[in-house]
A and B are shown apart, each in its own frame.
Chain A
Amino acid sequence: MGKIDVKEEQNRVFICTGTGCILSGADRVNAAFKEEFKKRKISEIDIVQTGCHGFCQQGPIIVIQPEGIFYPMVSAENVARIVEEHLLGGKIIDDLLYKDPSTGEKVPFYKDINFYKKQTRIVLRNCGQIDPEEIDNYIEHGGYEALKKVLSEMTPEEVVEEVKASCLRGRGGAGFPTGIKWDFARKASGDVKYLICNADEGDPGAFMDRSVLEGDPHSVLEGMMIAAYAIGASVGYIYVRAEYPLAVKRLKIAVEHVKKKGFLGKNILGSSFNFEIKIKEGAGAFVCGEETALMASIEGRRGTPRVRPPFPAQSGLWGKPTNINNVETLANIAWIIINGANKFAAIGTEKSKGTKIFAVTGKVKNGGLVEVPMGTSLREVIFDICGGVKDDEEFKAVQIGGPSGGCLPAEFLDTPIDYESLTQTGAIVGSGGMVVMDESSCMVDLARYFLAFTQKESCGKCVPCRVGTKRMLEMLQRMTKGESNEEELVLLENLAQDIKVSSLCGLGQTAPNPVLTMFKYFRKEFEEHVKEGRCRAGVCSELIAYIIKENICKGCGVCKKHCPVGAISGEKKQPHEIDVAKCVKCGICMQHCPFDAIYVAE
């Protein structure tokens, strides 16, 4: 790479300070820059701490503006070079650039990276582009224009109509049309109404909401204000996980700033609209993300779901009409108001409009936050954007929607991501967790993992979920240990179906989804565990032992050759032996032995 044009504009260093990058050392990089600047007495170059860029696997991430040069995996040791060579020398540092995993080519510009190129960033429009702790930064990027427009030009009815026309659906999991929900709340009679922002994000592996809160908290606040205006709420709550300290901190700063600007309080922007926002830190139980449990928790009661109806719009927080929306849902609102419902509705599929953020993790090359138009295929997300399976292993499955979602095999890779299509497969869009798996993942073990999670997180109120998931878990545990039988496979499936229909809340009603989809698409693997005591992924090592019969073994060495973990030893023509400690019970040796000398011992 040669020299780049020296622009009029002064350089700025964007350091990502999202949780992901901080964990990989962004703070140290930040300190190193400051140190370096001090040493060299540089004062004209700004260091901007931004929110998450979504490309967390590549953290800590640095972007040098205005050109938008992207440096991934920066360490404190690299800082001196970046200052010396790039900032002062105006030279792009080749060996620090991002290398495209599929082409092997260096990609200097942020916008050219495949990971970003194929995304459509509406919710994440400001993430990584602004300092989330500076309200003016947000305003410079067009922030609070939507609020001004709504308060000065639109009636609440018109706002509701606009959101209805956008066909935005709730991003918290259920996908209920947001405009219709607002309409219920607006029409509900009551002197006091509440608005709640659900920032509990309890799905293991999901971090979309966290990144939005950390990277662009004002977009959520602005969405809340518009929603409150539309439904007639005077008080808003943000229920945020206490395990998100950075998000909590940035929200608090944002609320303080907004108050100072006069966007919160009485007669906002000279209108008759009054609104205040309170931040409530949740205790971290997954079920507290369920709306009725969440409201109980805000009221200071034990966070357990209750039967609906009545829905929150009729009787919510403290019995008052309440509208509750997810972080991502709300972060869409200002964009819709400014750009118009039509523009939003032009993105996506017939019934699923706009974009959706996914948190892609697991065996994938470039994991992170990905915002794509609804209707994008799984393949595009996993292979085009995220670069495919790590180490170019075989793709086995993708788990979508966390503990409430499903697990899909390769034949569904071309399924478009939208509410209807995914539901048809047995999975769900859910909150947007996406875990990619290769052949080293065992489906039975994965099912066990999800059930262990739901069982632990079940609020304990209703029988099917409390006891049923425990029984499912026990069966799966037995399967991973080879203590199960075929009858239990049938029982497990029935149990899963019964829990789905009879549980009280969404947690129990969806808890069997992972197992049911795995049953549907990977049944053979379950049967192998139960009938043959075999785990092809070699994960369930507590399964029965493989033993070579000394008297039958001819010492041909075929098994030794095929064993993936080198657990078999023996001289040619001598009886071979399997090292029980090393053996992962994949059963490959038995399949290959030409003399049937290998048997399974209980």
Chain B
Amino acid sequence: MSDQVTVTINGKEIKVPEGTLIIQAAKMAGIDIPHLCYCECLPSTGSCRVCLVEVEGGKGLVASCAQKVKNGMVVDTDTEKVREARRFVLELILSNHPGDCMSCDKNGACDLQKYAYELGIEKTSFSMKDPGYDVDRSNPFIERNYNLCILCGRCVRICKQQGADIIDFVKRGMVTKVATPMDRPLQESGCDFCGSCLAVCPVGALVEVDRRFCGREWEMKETKTVCSYCGCGCELVFSTVDGQIMRATGEVSCDYICSKGRFGWDFVESSERITKPLIKKDGVLTESTYEEAIKVVAERLIDIKKKHGANSIGGFMGAGNTNEVAYLFQKFLRAGIGTNNIDSSARFLGFPALIDLYEALRDGAVVSMKDVEEADVLLLVNADLTASYPRVGASVKKAILNGAKVVVIDSKKTEISELADLHIEPQVDSEEFVLSGILKELLEENLHDEKFTKKCKNFDEFKKSLDGLKVETIEKETKTSKDFLKEAAKLYGEGKKTIILFGAETVSSQSMGLIADIALLTGRTKASVLPCLLSSNLRGTIYMGALAGFYPGARRANEIGNDFKKIWERDLPDEMGLSAMEMVENMGSSVLGMYIVGADPVAQFPNSSKVAKAFSSLDFLVVQDVFLTETAKMADVVLPGATLAESNGTVVNLEYQTKEVKAALEPLAKPDWETIADLSERMDYTMEYSSEKEIAKEIKSLVPIPKKIEKNTYDFIVVKPKKSGEEPDGKYPYALIVGETSFGFYDGQRTRNSKLSILELNKGNYAGFNPEDAESLSLKEGDAVLISSRRGKITTSVKMLGSLPKGLLFMPSCHEERGVLASDNVDSKLKSPQHRLIAVSVSKGGASK
């Protein structure tokens, strides 16, 4: 605890911690000092001079935002001298301001306007002027009108703080201005479009293009909910007017949210949305009524079940729905239909290997962003944080600013690897060897926690297995000198608060085991490993049992006892249930009916032409989604789905925190849970819920939110490292990796329907090449290129990516045809394909889309 000091502000005596700024101390005393350049989340500059106060015994006035309190300090915030100075400063600012409050979107929320009013400035003593800058409307996200800028510098500071650092003051005197290098448009300056700058701008200089002239500040209704993109689960506040979203902000204005959170919500308002149920008639999807559509689905499913048994039906859902929807969906399949053939995208995003990791580490795998920010050593394994889980990326950058050391293991360069203290760039697909090597070095350097490892039953077995692995083998497989591994081991081993971060969908199931081992070997069992998750409700989807083999509460399907039977009032199937790829295998033979909610298997699953064939052999396919996906196009019935912005319920983010989702908009048709419940009713399995709250209550009674379980005995996961992807060979000499990009997301379904897509070359339909590779193939940026794998071929365009090593190609996961090339070889643990690395061949030409 820091020491307390006593200060007197406007005659009021209070105690505050030493080091508190005067402006903060005043706030604690309930006194609000006007301020423009000061922002709680940013370092002070004391530049606007609005917050001036009088300090007894001091010379002149002091900027309360930039001066710390001292014991016994006597401060006056509201003397005539202070008011006069403030009025003077505001008048000066106003003298250089157009004063067009009538048409300014910030009217009513502008700090300048507010203080001018409070200080009773009717008209400035100086003439109002418009500096005459051109308004930058060259991007569809942020409108920049520097005529309104008061040069408070908040945007400059936050841009620096969140790591992009692309704007700064330029020139001097009256012509001082905020600009990018060479004053180029944001989209040409490396802007992340996180929009942090507009969140902190106190005036109307930076505003969301979406809200210009669409609604007044006081007409806005605010709804606090959760971002529907990545697993960070950032809290968003949607401001709406007349059922239209005006903007999204963080809960506190300067909270970081990424471009997808801030601007990517507009897919919700896309004209491509499905608004009415569709029924296929004579091969054409035709609009129908909700009742008719539900009736058709129910009849067909009942029919299939009657003829072929419950297990001829399967269900699959995305991992971005609320807990309530996920729970209800699996309940419908398991209890309503009577099959355990229920699976979700979670399988493709790291589960259920992750379940093993959670079990091995328990609390060790529960890590918050705050933990990350406070860590002193971070080890990143195959995680392009700023592109995939931007909020985690922001936390890592904050940690770096706080002095943390960072070790990155990744074959390609990432934004964070460029800031790292050590970047190990192993041969593609050799991470398991790198991790094993680090384990060996930890032992050799005596950096392991002996007291702890003694308590682990299988330590000897684990050690023996490591001893069996030769250093030469590791160096050969990784093409990395062991010196680097030693350095990594030292950095990690000697750290005080260390966290390993990895991308759950980008590392193999074996790597996850090795990562757990690294934490265990050093005895770090508290908040030490953070699996980064891609979808907004991955953890919740699993916990609700929307994964073959697992019931709610992550209970294995063969160990559920009688609880579910009792509450669901049905007998439950004995089989473990088919996983997604198993269902695909059996389509047309034993699997004949499918119900898909919020997912696009036909485009998304690996080896997609084979998947499409399988789906076309079904007797009946019903898809519930917000867009007419590739899968939906093949469906017999399409039901309109709801987006997260239109849903109520809960999700669980990657920190293991349950967050409340609240509908900012009315759903276009029905909430997803209601559609499922209506269908269930029709199939004689009653689901009487008045709202999602009641579903939540039922969930709670079945699977109480687990208390943190202290674990006393830990076991190492013994792993024999191997390569898990497809090895390039003579015929397919390049390795292709699929990954996230800054402005695309996952299957691209949402970002493609968002303005964000303009920030990706070709909306993300490209393949990235190392420039040297491109040169040897005579490829230039934008060229059409034919890429073939053992499954199929696609034509796409070329993008130069200096971040790639030679021999490795990159494809955005939002690429429309990414499924064509991917391998459907199944990992034994995940029962999902290791579709990360694909061996491909490349040739120039072909008609690019």
Expressed in whole angstroms, the Cα–Cα distance for A502 and B54 within the complex equals 11
Enumerate A470-502 residues with CB–CB distance to B below 8 Å: 470-471, 491, 495, 498, 501-502
Tell yes or no: B171 within 8 A of A by CB: yes
The verdict on A471 contacting B173 (CB below 8 Å), with A309-B67, A461-B45, A462-B48 known, is: no
**Which A residue's beta carbon lies closest to that of B43?**
A306
Minimum CB distance partner of B52 in chain A: A502
Residues of chain B lying within 8 A (CB to CB) of residue A498: 84-85, 88
CB proximity of A314 to chain B, nearest CB, Å: 12
Stretch at the interface among B58-66, B667-675, B824-832: B58-66
| Chain A residue with the shortest CB-CB distance to B174 | A470
Chain B positions 296-345 with a Cβ under 8 Å from a chain A Cβ: none
Give residues of chain B (125-152) contacting chain A, Cβ–Cβ below 8 Å. Answer: 125-126, 150-151
Which of B46, B61, B151, B173 touches A470 (beta carbons < 8 Å)?
B173
A-contact 0/1 string along B616-644, CB 8 Å cutoff: 00000000000000000000000000000
Instruction: Report A135-154 residues with CB < 8 Å from chain B CB.
Output: none
Which of B44, B92, B125, B169 has most chain A Cβ within 10 Å?
Answer: B92
Whether B45 lies near A471 (C-beta < 8 A) is no
CA distance A458 to B125 in the complex (A): 22
Say whether B173 contacts A457, CB under 8 Å.
Answer: yes
In the assembled complex, which residues on chain A have CB atoms less than 8 Å from the CB atom of B126? 471
Which of the residues B61, B68, B96, B172 comes within 8 Å of A458, measured between beta carbons?
B172
A4 contacts the other chain (CB 8 A): no
Judge whether A467 and B95 touch: CB under 8 Å: yes
Check: B47 CB closer than 8 A to any chain A CB. yes
Residues of B contacting A309 with CB < 8 Å?
67-68
Smallest CB separation, A511 vs chain B (Å)? 11
Find out whether the CB atom of B46 lies under 8 angstroms from the CB atom of A306: yes
Let me know if A471 and B92 touch, CB within 8 A: yes
A6 near B: Cβ within 8 Å? Answer: no
A1 interface hit (Cβ, 8 Å): no
Minimal Cβ-Cβ distance residue in A for B81: A501
Contacting residues, chain A, for B49 (C-beta < 8 A): 462-464, 502-504
Task: Say whether A501 contacts B174, CB under 8 Å.
Answer: no
The minimal Cβ–Cβ distance linking A512 to chain B, given in whole angstroms, is: 13
Are B169 and A463 in contact, with the CB atoms below 8 A? Answer: no
Residues on B with beta carbons closer than 8 Å to the beta carbon of A457: 172-173
- Docked-complex contact A502 and B89, CB < 8 angstroms: yes
The smallest C-beta distance from B79 to any residue of chain A, in angstroms, reads 12
Q: A463-B93, A467-B174, A502-B89 are in contact. Are A302 and B168 (CB under 8 A)?
A: yes
Contact A467 B92 (CB under 8 A): yes
- Contact pick for B92, options A307, A468, A504, CB 8 Å: A468
A-facing residues in B163-212 (Cβ within 8 Å)? 168-169, 171-176
Contact between A456 and B92, CB atoms less than 8 A apart: no
How far is it, in angstroms, between the C-alpha of A132 and the C-alpha of B66 when the chains are bound?
A: 45
Give chain B residues whose Cβ lies under 8 Å from the Cβ of A503. 49
Selected from A456, A464, A491, A502, the residue in CB contact (under 8 A) with B172 is: A456
Separation of A500 and B590 alpha carbons in the complex (Å): 87
Nearest residue (CB) in B for A301 is B168
Would B151 and A502 count as touching, CB distance under 8 A?
Answer: no
- Whether A502 and B93, one on each chain, are in contact in the complex, defined by CB atoms closer than 8 angstroms, is no
Chain A binding surface, main DSSP class = helix
A376 within 8 A of partner (CB): no
Contact flags B65-103 to A (C-beta < 8 A → 1, else 0): 011100000000000000011001100110110000000
Q: Please give, as numbers and ranges, the residues of chain B lying within 8 Å of A307 by CB-CB distance.
A: 44-46, 63, 66-67
A469 proximity list for chain B (CB < 8 A) = 173
Which residues of B sit under 8 angstroms from A461, Cβ to Cβ?
45, 47, 151, 153, 169, 176
In angstroms, Cα B172 to Cα A457, docked, is 7
Question: B66: nearest residue on chain A (CB-CB)?
Answer: A307
Q: Closest residue of chain A to B61, judged by CB? A: A501
**At the interface, yes or no: A52 with Cβ under 8 Å from chain B?**
no
| Minimum CB distance partner of B97 in chain A | A467
A464 touches B169 (CB 8 A): no
CA distance A501 to B176 in the complex (A): 22
Q: Complex: how many Å from CA A459 to CA B168?
A: 13
Measured in the bound complex, the distance between the Cα atoms of B125 and A470 in whole Å is 14
Instruction: Give Cα A302 to B156, complex, Å.
Output: 12
Q: Counting CB contacts under 8 A, is A460 at the interface?
A: yes
Interface residues of A in 179-220 (CB under 8 A from B): none
* Contact A502/B85 with A309-B67, A460-B151 known, Cβ cut-off 8 Å: yes
Q: B151 touching A466 by the CB < 8 A rule? A: yes
Which A287-320 residues have a C-beta within 8 angstroms of B?
287, 302, 304, 306-307, 309
Residues of A within 8 A of B89 (CB): 463-464, 502
In the complex, whether A119 has a CB less than 8 A from a CB of chain B is: no
**Contact B60 A501, beta carbon cutoff 8 Å:** yes
Bound form: Cα–Cα A491–B50 in Å: 20
Most buried by B among A287, A459, A502: A502
Residues of chain A within 8 A of B67, CB atoms compared: 307, 309
A24 to B724 alpha-carbon distance, docked (Å): 80
Q: Does A361 contact B (CB under 8 A)?
A: no
For B84, the chain A residues whose CB sits under 8 A away are 498
> Smallest Cβ distance from B371 to chain A, in angstroms?
26
Task: Indicate with 1 or 0, residue by residue over A495-526, a CB within 8 angstroms of chain B CB atoms.
Answer: 10010011110000000000000000000000
- In whole angstroms, how far apart are the Cα atoms of A469 and B67 in the complex? 25
Which B residues are CB-close (under 8 A) to A302? 168-169
User: Is A285 positioned at the interface, with any CB of B under 8 Å from its CB?
Assistant: yes
List chain B residues, Cβ under 8 A from A304. Answer: 169
Which residues from 17 to 57 on chain B have a C-beta closer than 8 Å to any C-beta of chain A?
44-50, 52
* Chain A hits for B125, CB < 8 A: 491
> Which of B46, B50, B151 contacts A504, CB < 8 Å?
B46
**Structural contact, A455 and B46, CB atoms closer than 8 A:** no
In whole Å, how far is A457's beta carbon from the nearest beta carbon of chain B?
Answer: 7
Q: Is A467 in contact with B93, judged by CB distance below 8 angstroms?
A: yes
In the complex, the answer to whether A467 meets B88 with C-beta atoms within 8 Å is no
Contact B47 A458 (CB under 8 A): no
| A304 CA / B169 CA spacing, docked (Å) | 10
Name A509's closest neighbour in chain B (CB-CB).
B60
A456 to B171 alpha-carbon distance, docked (Å): 10
Contacting A467 at CB < 8 Å: which of B44, B52, B61, B96?
Answer: B96
Contact B173 A455 (CB under 8 A): yes
Instruction: Report how far A441 CA is from B708 CA in the complex, Å.
Output: 83
Closest to B65 in A: A307
CA distance A413 to B60 in the complex (A): 30
A126 to B63 alpha-carbon distance, docked (Å): 45
CB neighbours of B171 from chain A (8 A) = 460
Q: Which residues of A contact B175 (CB under 8 A)?
A: 460
Q: Give CA–CA (A456, B176) in the complex, Å.
A: 10
Q: Report chain B residues within 8 Å CB of A455.
A: 173-174
**B48 near A460: Cβ-Cβ < 8 Å:** no
Q: Which residues of A contact B174 (CB under 8 A)?
A: 455, 458, 460, 466-467, 470
CA of A456 to CA of B175 in the docked complex: distance in angstroms? 9
Bound: A462/B173 CA distance, A: 10
Distance in angstroms between the alpha carbons of A123 and B61 in the assembled complex:
37
Q: Nearest Cβ in chain A — how far from B168, in angstroms?
A: 6
Q: How far is the CA of A285 from the CA of B169 in the complex (A)?
A: 15
Tell me the smallest distance from the CB of B37 to a CB of chain A, in Å. Answer: 9
* Distance between A449 CB and nearest chain B CB, rounded to angstroms: 15
- Known pairs A462-B49, A471-B95 / 11 extra A-B pairs, C-beta < 8 Å: A285-B172, A307-B66, A309-B67, A457-B173, A461-B45, A463-B151, A467-B92, A491-B125, A498-B85, A498-B88, A502-B85
18 CB contacts below 8 A, A to B, read A306-B46, A307-B46, A456-B172, A460-B175, A460-B176, A461-B151, A462-B46, A463-B48, A463-B93, A463-B150, A463-B151, A464-B88, A464-B89, A464-B92, A467-B92, A467-B96, A471-B126, A501-B85
| Chain A residues in the interface with B (C-beta under 8 A) | 285, 287, 302, 304, 306-307, 309, 455-464, 466-471, 491, 495, 498, 501-504
The 7 closest A-B pairs by CB, nearest first: A460-B176, A307-B46, A307-B66, A467-B92, A498-B88, A470-B174, A461-B47
Residues of B within 8 A of A (CB): 44-50, 52, 60-61, 63, 66-68, 84-85, 88-89, 92-93, 95-96, 125-126, 150-151, 153, 168-169, 171-176
